[in-house]
Amino acid sequence: MDILRDQCIFLAANRFARQKVNEMMYEMKVRLRTLRCSLALLAALISVTTLPARAQTNSTTPPTNVPGWLTEPLSLIDALNLTLKQNSTIIKAQADLESQRGLVIQTRAVALPTVAATGNATRSDPGLIEGFPFFSATTNSSGKTNITKTVSSRDSWSTAITLTQTIYQGGRTLSALRAAQLVKDQAMLNFQSTVADTLLAARIAYYDVLVAEQQIIVNEASTNLLAKQFEDQQRRYDAGTVPKFNVLQAEVALDNAIPPVINAYNTYRINKNNLCVLLGFNLPRDVWEDIPLNLTDKLDSNPYNIELPMAIAEALQKRTELQALQKEVGLQRESIINAKAGYKPTISAFASWDWRSPEFSPDSQNQWNGWQIGGQFSWDIFDGMLTRGKVIQAKAGLEHARADVEDRARQIELEVRTDYSSFINAREVLQSQLKVEEEATEALRLANARADAGTGTQLDVLNAQTQLTQARTTEVQSLHDYDVARARLRRAIGEELTAPADSK
């Protein structure tokens, strides 16, 4: 009996020891996972120090490998001004504008007089010199008369300066002047359209960086809450007041919150690179992907009030794309005039001053000079219907240009309606989120209080934390969507985007 009792005691002790060992192994495993989560969270917290807002509070000294101009405070207006100055698209548009200026000068040239200088010099073989049957008599000192035959000069030369002015070309001259002005206006309108599109892209890129920065803060705040929840549940478990299930739930929630933080940092880095490209920055090669931009503006909810009919009317009046197409209609009308000029005569006048050598004197040093004036008239009676074909082509071009204007007007109206609807949607979503964060924060406080009092569950706390994170994320994204929708609507209307959006 004593042996049996000793065996039972040994088995019970062994079972108890195994249970203790299993509990210790599980506790070590939990602590290792906790350490891993804490290290990941610590890495995220360390990387957040690159944010401009925190850089000002943590350190005022920029990294040594970063140029000073890159870390200077950058407001939205400063960013737009840099875009106007350095953006490659705008620089190329300026070059295109200068190219069109050269085309305007070429178009006007047909109406202006031309001045040309011409000259030639010739020496001929004696075998090509022709003698003419003209004789001249000369008397020498002895009284003897010599008769010589007139011979052409071996050397000949001539120069002239000629002024030519077209007097009438069937309407081409005046049409060229009008077309030159239309081309100039159209080039400027196209340039303004390019500038407006580029400024819109820069403004949206600025907003994208701001929202990415705020998303990091929101996700890190959520991670901090979950980390505290995990630590609290771990302490409670160590004290024996909660089961292991609570610790596992808190740990899983913390693990799931870390990837959004990492993704937010990646989006933040990418958005900063996109903004730098639009600003025309030439980044040093030793600056890594996390560019230390210092954006000073914030996402705002400044009101912007405009009715849809007024927005459409302003867009049809202000949009430079539509105005450029209207200039194209004028150019096509001038093309018809230019084509019909083939039915009419051409009259020009000229005046010149000529110098030339004598034609029938061997002495090439002698010269003749004098002026000439005259006119020229030409009229193609029949040109094989070439002019008729040009007129038909020009008229078809005019109809095409008119159709382009009508189609573009409809597209602009559709763009305004779409952007207006998106703006109203963003504004309503933003207004609906004004008190959500406050309510979600209060709900989390009540959930924690209920859990502490024993009337609530851990699941209620985790749900409240998830709802708070969702509320903060939605609010930040709503601000971004509102600002972007407002900028797109202003661009669709044709407003100047370098000025702030004031309430109308």
Other CB atoms within 10 Å distance of the CB of residue 287: 16
Encoded tokens for 288: 């890594």
Q: Quick one: which of 322, 321, 499, 488 has its CA closest to 421? A: 488
Question: What is residue 397's predicted lDDT score, i.e. its pLDDT?
Answer: 94
Higher pLDDT, 333 or 44: 333
Asked if residue 17 has pLDDT above 60, the reply is no
Mean pLDDT of 323-346: 93
User: Domains in the chain, ordered, with CATH?
Assistant: 113-168+345-378 (2.20.200)
Question: What is residue 169's predicted lDDT score, i.e. its pLDDT?
Answer: 86
Tens-digit pLDDT profile for residues 139-194: 566 666 655 555 566 677 889 999 998 888 888 888 888 999 999 999 999 999 99
Mean pLDDT of 402-420: 96
Question: What is residue 133's predicted lDDT score, i.e. its pLDDT?
Answer: 56
Provide the pLDDT confidence category of residue 49 given band limits of 50, 70 and 90: very low
Tens-digit pLDDT profile for residues 258-304: 898 899 999 999 999 999 999 998 888 777 767 888 899 999 889 99
Tens-digit pLDDT profile for residues 68-111: 778 889 999 999 999 999 999 999 999 999 998 888 888 888 88
Helix boundaries (H) for 117-171: none
- Cα Rg for the chain, rounded, in angstroms? 44
State the sign of the Cα–Cα–Cα–Cα dihedral 259, 260, 264, 267: positive
Question: What is residue 39's predicted lDDT score, i.e. its pLDDT?
Answer: 46
Asked if residue 469 has pLDDT above 90, the reply is no
Provide the pLDDT confidence category of residue 44 given band limits of 50, 70 and 90: very low
Higher pLDDT, 310 or 148: 310
Encoded tokens for 349: 């006048």
Question: What is residue 123's predicted lDDT score, i.e. its pLDDT?
Answer: 77
Question: What is residue 458's predicted lDDT score, i.e. its pLDDT?
Answer: 61
Asked if residue 352 has pLDDT above 50, the reply is yes
Query: Coil, strand or helix: which one is 354?
Result: strand
Question: What is residue 272's predicted lDDT score, i.e. its pLDDT?
Answer: 92
- Classify each residue of 41-55 as buried b or exposed e, where b means 16 or more C-beta atoms within 10 Å of its C-beta: beebeebbebbbeeb
pTM here is 0.76
Other CB atoms within 10 Å distance of the CB of residue 59: 10
Asked if residue 61 has pLDDT above 90, the reply is no
Provide the pLDDT confidence category of residue 426 given band limits of 50, 70 and 90: very high
